[in-house]
Amino acid sequence: MACDDSYTVLIIPLQNSLYSPDALQCFHWLKRRRDLERQKDVLWAGLQVVEQTQLWYQNRLQLNLRRQISFNTGDLEGEGSCSCALRSCMQRVNGSLGSLMSDSCIWNNLAPEETGGSDWDLRWSNATLVKEVNRRNQQISMLELEKARLQQLVSYI
């Protein structure tokens, strides 16, 4: 999913002075629009990370299913390199999600009136998705540990 890098430029001629109530209202409206566009860009980036993570997990599930089938049939070639690659990918995904969650653009520049709208709902759902990703990472790690233990048992037999 691609994100537009374009921004809207709006020039409003003011009838009165720069310090009139209309000018201040226009300034605050433009400032809020700019903040919303920045937040939208961060949310798009987060959505792209979540979509890539989802595809990665689907690929990992298919790979693990094939590995389980090959393990059941007795074919055990190339297991060590996959485990290292898995850990590397998990660290990359966790790093991307961590940097997204700690991005000061979205969390520190919030106006008080923004906490009640749909923007807040999107941030909440993003945080719950991050928790779900972490939970899945833990499940994968536990399954890999169990697999390694089972491989040791099989090698002793």
* Residue 114: C-alpha distances to residues 31, 39, 44, 89, 123 (Å): 13, 11, 18, 35, 11
8 Å CB contact between 91 and 99: no
What's the pLDDT tens digit per position in 93-147?
Answer: 777 777 776 665 555 555 445 445 567 777 788 888 888 888 888 888 888 888 8
As to burial, measured by CB atoms within 10 angstroms (0-12 exposed, 13-18 middle, 19+ buried), residue 82 is middle
One-letter amino acid at 55 equals: L
pTM: 0.37
What's the pLDDT tens digit per position in 50-92?
Answer: 899 889 888 888 888 888 787 677 655 555 555 666 777 777 7
Q: Residue written as tokens 């499940």?
A: 139
As to burial, measured by CB atoms within 10 angstroms (0-12 exposed, 13-18 middle, 19+ buried), residue 111 is exposed
Indicate if the alpha-carbon torsion angle 10, 15, 19, 24 is positive or negative.
negative
Q: Residue written as tokens 């089972």?
A: 150
